Structures are given as structure tokens and as C-alpha cells.
């Protein structure tokens, strides 16, 4: 079967002439010159290898083939317009929903507070938070399920842009009535006799801590585990042990009965950043959210903002 190449401009030109009954009327409707309009119709007829219009000095009439093609062309253009309308509606719907993926530490308080700031200036935007582990946050951004993510992994990923927001250290979370709570700082050796609460072995926090402690001859023994930092802090607050957590976890949303003490030898840090698909430009609400996050983080002097 012979391949016929038609352009949308050519089909629209033909339909406009058929409806107007003249090249002048069609040219005016399409804001084209008559020669330009005529060239489009000529190209269409050459591609189809058939006369669609009978031209006289007074009028333009459809041939039998022209009437047949007009019916198909009108249906095709109508279907195309419907398709464009559907896409525009879907784009508008997606633009009205801002999906953000974040690690649980951020989900506990930082992101809700930033959402609250955003809602003041963008009350019509629907906000959706995906609170997952670091690998799931990265996948959500890669797949496009989330427009942006907040995590401490992704800086070296080839398909991800990573914008650092803050650097925070890990501290020992313990009850305020614990004997070690009065110490200005602790070494990991000080924790050898303490019952430890930790997050699950496959979590980003646990991996980071285990890597940092891999050279120590003696390491604290984990006695209790929780999937997320919030659960670990709950166990600490119940008096079951102590836990090493990011400082941000204690700064935002932790119970008043807990305190964080600095750890050294080694000192462990992580950098929280904004992750997006490489080269993607954020929409207006997403940009406003980033500003809200930066404003919220500035209120917490226990973290180090990255400029």
C-alpha cells in the first residue's frame, strides 16, 4: 500500500475552503494569504492524487472525491480536537496535584509545616505526600510519580539532580532522665553497655550508620528494631533503650521526654537534599514548596543549612 503523507495544515486548509466556498473566505478565516492557502490545498491533492475541488472564476465546488474526503477530514479533526481537550484537562489536573516523596524523618514534621506555608498562597493545589524509605523515594521521582523528593540519597545518580538543603549530624536519643543525658558529648565506646534501639537493617539510616562504624573493634549491640525512626523513638521514650538518629528527627516532632546528645569518634553526618529528575523544571507550586522548606529549615539552628 502506498504511503500518503498529509499534514494537519493541509487538511485544515481544505476543510476551510469547503466550508467557506471560496479561497478568499477560507484565507481570511485562517489568517493566511490566498497563495499560501492554495499551495496547501494543491499539496493535499497531489498527495492524494485526486481532485478535491473544482475551481472556477466565481466559485469553488467539491468534487465527488472531495465530498467523500471532507466527511472523513471533519471526523478526524473533531477527534483530534477531543484528544487535545482531554490532554489539556489531564495536564491541568496533574498541575493541581503536587506529589512529594520524602523519607519518614522529613514526613514527621518538616514537610507538613512546609505544606501549611504553601497552602496559604496556593489554596487550590492538592498536596500528596509519599513517606517512604530512601530507595522508594528515589524510585518515585525517577518514575515521575512524585514531582520532587526529599532524601539523603541520589546525589550520584546519573538521572537525578540533587540540590543540598542541609547537613545534619546523628545524635544519641535518650530519655531526659537517663544518666547520659547530662553529658555534653559521647563517644561510641560510651554506648557499649547500653541497650540499643535501631531502625531496620535495610533502611538508609541503618546502612549509613553501619558503614561509619565498620572500622570499630567494638560496637553497641542492637536489642530492639523498628522500621522507621519514629518507631525507634517511641521505644526509647518507653525506656527500652537508646537510639542513634538524625538530629532533625529530634528537632521536629519528637516527644518532650527525649533529648539528643552529640556523638563523636566517629561523628556521622548526612546531607538532606531535594531530588528531581535530571533537567526537569519545577512548576510554580513545587518552586513555592522549596521556598517554604527553606524558610522552615531556617527556624532550626541545630541543623546546618546548605546555601
pLDDT reported for residue 40 = 92
pLDDT at 180 over 80: yes
To 10 degrees, the CA torsion angle through 210, 214, 219, 222?
A: 30
Q: How would you write the chain as a 3-class SS string?
A: CCCCCCCHHHHHHHHHHHHHCCHHHHHHHHCCCHHHHHHHHHHHHHHHCCCCEEECCCCEEECHHHHHHHHHHHHHHHHHHHHHHHHHHHHHHHHCEEEEEECHHHHCCHHHHHHHHHHHHCCCCEEEEEECCHHHHHHHHHHCCCCEEEECCCCCCCCEEEEEEEEEEEEEEEECCCHHHHCCEEEHHHHCCCCEEEECCCCHHHHHHHHHCCCCCCCCCEEEEECCHHHHHHHHHCCCCEEEEEHHHHHCCCCCCEEEEEEECCCCEEEEEEEEECCCCCCHHHHHHHHHHHHHHCCCCCCEECC
pLDDT reported for residue 300 = 67
> pTM for this structure?
0.62
Q: Which CATH code of 2.70.98.70, 3.40.190.10, 1.10.10.10, 3.40.50.2300 fits the domain covering 95-166+271-305?
A: 3.40.190.10
- The predicted-structure confidence for 197-237, as pLDDT tens digits, reads as follows 998 887 878 888 888 888 888 888 899 999 888 889 999 99
pLDDT at 17 over 60: yes
pLDDT at 305 over 60: no
pLDDT reported for residue 91 = 61
Task: Give the strand pairing for 160-175 and 148-151.
Answer: unpaired
Residue 195's pLDDT band (cuts 50, 70, 90): very high
- The predicted-structure confidence for 243-295, as pLDDT tens digits, reads as follows 999 888 887 655 578 999 999 888 999 898 999 998 888 888 888 899 999 88
CA distance 229 to 219: 20
Taken in order 60, 61, 65, 67, the sign of the CA dihedral is positive
CA distance 281 to 57: 55
pLDDT at 131 over 70: yes
Greater confidence (105 vs 234) lies with 234
Cβ proximity of 250 and 266 under 8 Å: no
Residue 175's pLDDT band (cuts 50, 70, 90): very high
CATH of domain 8-91: 1.10.10.10
Which has the closest alpha carbon to 103: 305, 218, 270, 287? 270
pLDDT reported for residue 2 = 63
pLDDT reported for residue 307 = 44
Q: Which residues of 128-158 are buried (b: 16+ CB within 10 A; e: fewer)?
A: ebbbbbbebbbebbbeeebbbbbbbbbeeee
- The predicted-structure confidence for 160-170, as pLDDT tens digits, reads as follows 999 998 888 99
Same fold across 8-91 and 95-166+271-305: no
Range scoring the smallest mean pLDDT among 13-27, 81-95, 111-125, 262-276? 81-95
Q: Where are the domains of the chain?
A: 8-91, 95-166+271-305, 169-269
Task: Looking at the structure, give the CATH architecture of the domain made up of residues 169-269.
Answer: 3-Layer(aba) Sandwich (3.40)
Cβ proximity of 65 and 45 under 8 Å: no
**What percent of the chain is modeled with pLDDT above 70?**
92
Amino acid at each position: 500500500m502506498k504511503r500518503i503523507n498529509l499534514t494537519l495544515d493541509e487538511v485544515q486548509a481544505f476543510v476551510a475552503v469547503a466550508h467557506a466556498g471560496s479561497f478568499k473566505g477560507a484565507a481570511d478565516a485562517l489568517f493566511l494569504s490566498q497563495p499560501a492557502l492554495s499551495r496547501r490545498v494543491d499539496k493535499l491533492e497531489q498527495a492524494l492524487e485526486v481532485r478535491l475541488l473544482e475551481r472556477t472564476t466565481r466559485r469553488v465546488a467539491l468534487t465527488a472525491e472531495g465530498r467523500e474526503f471532507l466527511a472523513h477530514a471533519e471526523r478526524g479533526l473533531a477527534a483530534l480536537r477531543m484528544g487535545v481537550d482531554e490532554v489539556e484537562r489531564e495536564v491541568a489536573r496533574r498541575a493541581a496535584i503536587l506529589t512529594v516523596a520524602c523519607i519518614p524523618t522529613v514526613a514527621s514534621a518538616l514537610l507538613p509545616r512546609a505544606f501549611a506555608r504553601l497552602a496559604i498562597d496556593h489554596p487550590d493545589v492538592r498536596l500528596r505526600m509519599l513517606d517512604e524509605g530512601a530507595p522508594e523515594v528515589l524510585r518515585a521521582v525517577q518514575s515521575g510519580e512524585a514531582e520532587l523528593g526529599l532524601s539523603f540519597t541520589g546525589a550520584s545518580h546519573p538521572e537525578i539532580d540533587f540540590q543540598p538543603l542541609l547537613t545534619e549530624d546523628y545524635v544519641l536519643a535518650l530519655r531526659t532522665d537517663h544518666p547520659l543525658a547530662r553529658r555534653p558529648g559521647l563517644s561510641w565506646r560510651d554506648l557499649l553497655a547500653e541497650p540499643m534501639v535501631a531502625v531496620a537493617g535495610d533502611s538508609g539510616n541503618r546502612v549509613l550508620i553501619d558503614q561509619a562504624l565498620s572500622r570499630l573493634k567494638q560496637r553497641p549491640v542492637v536489642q530492639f528494631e523498628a522500621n522507621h525512626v519514629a518507631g525507634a523513638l517511641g521505644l526509647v521514650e518507653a525506656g527500652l533503650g537508646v537510639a542513634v538518629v538524625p538530629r532533625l528527627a529530634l528537632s521536629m516532632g519528637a516527644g518532650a521526654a527525649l533529648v539528643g546528645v552529640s556523638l563523636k569518634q566517629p561523628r556521622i553526618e548526612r546531607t538532606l537534599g531535594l531530588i528531581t529528575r535530571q533537567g526537569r523544571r519545577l512548576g510554580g507550586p513545587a518552586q513555592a514548596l522549596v521556598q517554604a522548606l527553606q524558610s522552615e529549615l531556617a527556624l532550626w539552628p541545630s541543623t546546618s543549612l546548605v546555601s
